[in-house]
Structure 1
Amino acid sequence: MSDSLGPKAHIPSDIVRKKYNFSDLINVEELQNLVEVNYAATGMPSGIIGVDTGEIYAGAGWQRICTHFHRAHPKTNALCIKSDTFILNKIQAGEPHAYKCANGLWDIGVPIFCFDQHIATYFLGQFFYDDEPVDLEFFSKQADQYSFDKKEYLDAVRSVPRFKREKVQEILRHNIAMSKFLSNLASRNMERQMELEHRKRTEIELVKLQNYLSNIINSMPSAIIGVDPAGNVTQWNNRAEQLTGIPQQKAINAEIETLLPSLSGIMQSITRAIETREKQFDLKRRFHSDGKTHHEDITVYPLIANGVEGAVIRIDDITERVNLEQMMIQSEKMMSIGGLAAGMAHEINNPLAAILGYTHNIRRRIFGSLNKNEVVAEECGISLDNIRQYIENRDILKMLDGIQESGERAATIINNMLSFSRKSEKKYGRYNLEQLLDDTLELLVIDYDFKKRYDFGKIKIIREYTADTPAVYCEGNEIKQVFLNLLKNASEAMADKHYSHASPCIILRVKQDDDMVLVEVEDNGPGMDETTMKRVLDPFFTTKPTGKGTGLGLSVSYFIINDQHNGTMTVDSAQGKWTRFSIRLPIITTEEL
């Protein structure tokens, strides 16, 4: 292609691979006006025809000899097509070409390019040069050969315009300039069109990428919340919706602390993260929701790349992990105390047995009706009655009672300690936990010693038992002992709380929880702080005054459930409001633990 025709712009690779329709790049209606004006000014017939389709995009001054004769007859039309093809082949290199067709008329073809692709041809003609005589004999034979009306055909020949060669060159220069203009315009329009297509593809890819990233973010088990430096929400994934119950539409653009009051103070972490370019942490954050204690880790990541400012808040619900860690820690403690308890219990049992035995013998030898007591007293010249009176007056008998009571209490502690270190033969069976709970309540009502300290009858008992809860395979007496410990613990805790509007209440729940049966013992007592809640299942830990509790009741209960029955026992509490112990025992189909 010469310098006079066709642009020399860089051809994008995606453009080269595509064929173009001239009418997609040029406004053919306006082009038709230009061709008509050009014909009116020059008298030169012309037309713009597509290379691949042969479609006529614009034309003016078409001669009757073409439209009514040569193009209308199949044989002469074949000659026209042959001429067109010859010219097309000649102008591929970019130069215009003049050719006298087999039908005896002159045509000139000027190529129109889009980049380096030949998309249309600007034809001039048909015409005669005025310095060439018109061979009427040739056209007369043509009329005879193709059965044209000779008079009309020759009249059409005589009406074909004649031009001086200089004039044709002048018109050709104009048409070359017009072809260059159309080539440049087509190339620019094509470039714009490809830019638009590229932009559309880019937008589609961006949407796909955005959807892909959104799917990744929404698939994460963590709540992901994006915020700008002012704390306005910019991103809110599915997990955030699940944890908060707030839909994305409502969350976007809302102020984070207004949207989630539970994150009060988070703006300080956001500001600090942005300023320091460092992550901020709030780990194992504790809060209450739906009557339960939850734990979560909050991490604030600064956004610092590509000039974007803001932060990403990641919230992980670690409640199950924390509970599992606490259970593992508790299990480790129980294992440790088990070994210690075995050694201590055996070492203490022997002197304790001696203390209790000697105390019993002292009573027998002073207050018993043994004959030898009288005999020895007479031998010593002492009245046994006077000795007894002295002992009573000096409260020695109360001291003996104290020794006996303390010894028996120590023996109970030792037996509890030994339960950590051995599994004795138990009598397991299938039990309904609702029935075991009700049996335990009856024991508390008739427990005289417990009634002396706490009026259990004044406590409101609410039973929330789910029908058709499966039975579990367990050691009934041990489970009742666990329930007894929990109910006593609740009663004692509620006795320390002053109720102004409510009254002491225990809620008992039994229901199936997947492959476990869940039992909850919940009271509306004073509750526990986090420190107490973490230690309440520890052996020997108690909040009662000295001498009022052994600190083993709950830890033994934990051991019975977790170690002896392959279950779980957890505690949850809101200080000043309530405490809930949850026990889960497995539902099994065989009589094996």
Structure 2
Amino acid sequence: MYLSSVLIAGMVILLLCSVTMLLVIYRHKSKRGNTTRLLLQSAIFNNTFQLQGLLAPDGTLLDANQTALEFAGIDKAAVVGKKFWSTPWWCHDQALQRQLQTYIARCAAGEFIRFEATHRDGAGRLRTIDATLKPLTDESGAVIYLIPEGRDITDLKTAESALQEKNILLETLFESIPFDIWIRDTKGRLLLQNDLHARHYNVCIGNTAEEDRVSPELCRLWKISQEQALEGYTLDLELRENEQIYRTIVAPIRHDNQITAIFGLHIDVTDRFKAMEALRSSEKRFKAIFEENPIAISITELTNRRCVDVNHSFCVLSGYRKEGIVGKTLKELGLLWNPDDDARLFKKLTDYGVINGEEVQTRTATGEQRSGILYVRIIMIDKRAHAISLYQDTTDQKRIEEQLESSEATYKAIFNNAPIGIFQSITAGQFISVNTVFAKIFGYSSPEEMINLVQDIPSQVYASAEQRKEIISRLHEKETLVVDDVQFLRKDGTRFYATMYMKGIYDSSSGEISQLDGFVVDTTEHRKTLEIMLQHEKMLMISGLAAGMAHEINNPLGIIAQDLQNLQRRLSSELPKNRQVAEALGLDLTALQQYLEQREIPGYLCSMQDAARRASRIMDNMLQFSRSSGTDRHPAPLFDVLEHAIELAATDYDLRRTYHFSSINLIRNYTRELPLVAMNVTEIEQVLINLLKNAAQALHNWNSEAPKEIKISACPKDTNIVITVEDNGPGMPEEVRRRVFEPFFTTKEVGRGTGLGLAVSHAIITKNHNGLLTASASPGKGSCFTISIPIS
């Protein structure tokens, strides 16, 4: 009896071991299947980009991959040769450095270390890293290198943490939920059970299910399963009780080829079933992420370089269907625009283990060329090396960037080449940008110089800072302003006038004007031209008045001259009519003639006739000078023009009365043989009179004992005629000589000159006659003005 009990107990133990082994094998197979499915997903989403390095056993960093260097924003030369824990990846945490030293020592002793750490990236952000230290041994088993690896898991931490909490809860539930074990004899009596089974079903050793009052449905199921087991079958059943799912395994226990008992295993698989459902759901989600990812993803077996899988974006981008891609190489598909890239990229991948952001040109199924950025990493799937490639197409982006660059270049060209000055500034008083014309207007050599030097626009650019305040104040009332006659300051401090067009740019948050944009038109030349035009109009008005006066004076002057002639004729004794009238009146004409001669009356009459003739010539000259001859040039005798100009100058009131022109020795250095010259006579006379007048004024103000002289010379030279007007007066300093032809420049006292005479003369010679007007002078040695105009 005792031996029988021992035998039964031994059989029970043997059966329990067999069943336990079956369960282990079942779980291993299930786990292996799940691991295989998740490996690909983990490789794609978690293992694509790794930080890797190589250490000596003492912790010295020998090498680091580009991913690790770019992660921290450092150069390899800055870290190689240093202790790994003293590199920038670890310097932010001393405790972590000490921990790393311990890990390195353990790894150098041959231990594989995995731990979680933190690194700061190049931007200073703290990132979470899944780190490992792997020992690398030689043939003798001695550790010769340490391989540190790290994956940035920061972005996955939050989602993983939530998932991990659920997994921990599921694992806790899975580990804590009991499964029941029992053994019954061939009659259905309970021989053996664990405490969990007893608590679950409240059954007792030696009783049948009916005796323990188990539910009729469960009793019926147990009875059927026991009958099958007694026939030699092993049953694997799934039972549902309410919302619970159980797995029941019923198997016969044999002894000497005889079934002596029945073994039962009752497992609550509710959580496992739910986990499987969640896994299937997770697989669907990951598959959706893989398939619907906008980045083209492909997985290639590294040994034969054939595609294992591609996502939908890859198919759309390449123009091929998935079944036309899987099983083929990129070279066979002709996806690389440059065929040499295939071997080059493969070599780079095998040499460095990574391709990180390389621009590649690809070809679609239709032959279209596309551009993109390629990222490749080597991963392990089912213990085989694969390459996972991410290709981000940048064709459209590059096209947009090129359009933006073209637009920006066009804007810059317009901005920099605009004929007006354009600026952008902030209200605080600094320039954002100015174009070349704007800088030139203000006397700066370049926009960069102006932006750097001008730090306070109100005081450095505006002649009046208050005017700028007023303009900005007016901008609050009007969106844009056009302000005329704004007075500005050049770099050298000189002032000038300009018209300014300005627009205020408002800050969206404060509602205040934060930026001022506009352009400036220098109106200095316009103002000068306007002044010249006004002076010209004034001269025209004076010419009109002179012509009117000449006409009015010529009438009485003609009567006076005619009456003087008649008076001489009526007093003459030679005319018969005079003698006849004198005899009739008893007048002795001979005595009258003697009286007139003794009283010098004939001399007075001749003097009056000379004065009338001289006045008539003056009126004729005024009429000729005041007549508009237009801008046409016609051949004219230069000798007569010179003489007429001198005669006009001699009759000028200011020259005669103020500057004593008659007292100046006028030297003529020309002859009547001068050629006909194509000219506008009135304009040339105007220039000559102005030069003579300036020379007389200079001599008047010159205190010198030497006789005052003005020399006028004229002679042909090649195809030109050269006229000089030279005086022996005070001359001019060099700074004055350089500016004598500038409008409004004058050295005379206020009210004595406009500064336009030489400017107008210069314009007449250079613009109207295609000639030259130059000045040469030395202080104390006189001045010389030279006119050179084409003869024809």
Tell me the TM-score normalized by structure 1: 0.43
Larger relative helix fraction: 1
Higher relative contact order structure (alpha carbons within 8 Å, sequence separation ≥ 6): 1
Rg larger in 1 or in 2?
2
